[in-house]
Amino acid sequence: MPIQPDLTFRPATLDDLPFIVGLIHEDSVVDSGEDPDPLAPPYRDAFAAIDADPNQMLMIAEIAGTPVGTFQLTFTPGIARQGQWRCTIEAVHVAPGHRSKGIGAAMMDWAVETAKARGCGMAQLTSNKLRKDAHRFYNRIGFSQSHEGFKRYL
Amino acid sequence: MPIQPDLTFRPATLDDLPFIVGLIHEDSVVDSGEDPDPLAPPYRDAFAAIDADPNQMLMIAEIAGTPVGTFQLTFTPGIARQGQWRCTIEAVHVAPGHRSKGIGAAMMDWAVETAKARGCGMAQLTSNKLRKDAHRFYNRIGFSQSHEGFKRYL
């Protein structure tokens, strides 16, 4: 797997919404019903809510100023395991044309190191059962496939 | 399944930590390494962090003033699905002696209604693959077992 020495990470800005929404739409295994306008008010409102919450990080991975990936981290306090904080990783996507280059692994390394620095004792994520390649990937980088993931749309 | 007309819900207080920590310890399928002192500083710190965060709800279900169950809700903004908020349900436990009476279903009904009232478009949870009975329960009450759940301890 090629090394990505030029990969850098930064918080997303409003200007990244077209990249993020486009990538979510392109990379979904089910129809996520995105709006064709990535700067529509619901996206701006969600971005503002994420940006205002110190327990949220919406991140962009980029190479030489070009966004190539995105993910969101949520830090959550809990009682179990002696008051352990968790880091939930969501909305992990790498742009087409930049896959299979180690970018996903570098993104998850960054997520794990950031979670540790924030005092989290665990990182967690769910992945649609259709994404068999993603499951192999998460197992390979040290995640345990120990749980069933349940969703209910409201 | 008996009806539970007397079941009520309220936010947990510090005084509930012995009930919550004891139940987590008793009901874990893996050793969660709890401290024998449920009021030890790490638990108090975690409770304070939850209590201070408007996107967290640590709840107690009780019957006639006696706690019988607990769960935590986390409300998270996200970009996908037109800026959809999610409700993540964690640490769902019903006290021994009060199981198989519909309390878990009532707790999850309350969680779903609260998530809707908060504007969430989805509720999600993970359940250890060893908890086969829990999986049947979540499927029965309308959750789709669509995802694999990955955890990595840090």
Instruction: Evaluate whether residue B149 is within a structural domain.
Output: no
pLDDT tens sequence across B40-95: 999 999 999 999 999 999 999 999 999 999 999 999 999 999 999 999 999 999 99
Interface of B with A in 99-128 (CB under 8 A): 112, 115-116, 120-128
Contact B126 A150 (CB under 8 A): yes
> Which CATH number characterizes residue B83's domain?
3.40.630.30
Instruction: Evaluate whether residue B42 is within a structural domain.
Output: yes
Give the domain range for residue B123: 7-140
Of all residues in chain B, the one with the smallest CA distance to A121 is B154
Instruction: Write out the E strands in chain A.
Output: 7-11, 56-63, 66-76, 85-94, 120-128, 144-153
Shortest alpha-carbon distance between residue A29 and chain B (Å): 12
Contact B91 A79 (CB under 8 A): yes
- Nearest Cα to Cα of residue A139 among B154, B128, B149: B149
Instruction: Evaluate whether residue A151 is within a structural domain.
Output: no
First to last CA, chain B: 41
Instruction: Evaluate whether residue A154 is within a structural domain.
Output: no
Q: A58 and chain B: CB distance < 8 Å anywhere? A: yes
Residue A82 has pLDDT above 90, yes or no: yes
Contact B126 A124 (CB under 8 A): yes
Q: What domain count does chain B have?
A: 1
pLDDT tens sequence across B82-125: 999 999 999 999 999 999 899 999 999 999 999 999 999 999 99
- Compute the distance between CA of residue B122 and CA of residue B140 in angstroms, rounded to an integer: 17
Instruction: Evaluate whether residue B96 is within a structural domain.
Output: yes
Instruction: Evaluate whether residue B68 is within a structural domain.
Output: yes
ipTM comes to 0.95
Cα dihedral sign, B124-B128-B131-B132? positive
Nearest 5°: phi and psi at A150?
-110, 140
Radius of gyration of chain A (CA): 16
Instruction: Evaluate whether residue B148 is within a structural domain.
Output: no
- In this prediction, residue A30 carries a pLDDT of 86
Instruction: Evaluate whether residue B57 is within a structural domain.
Output: yes
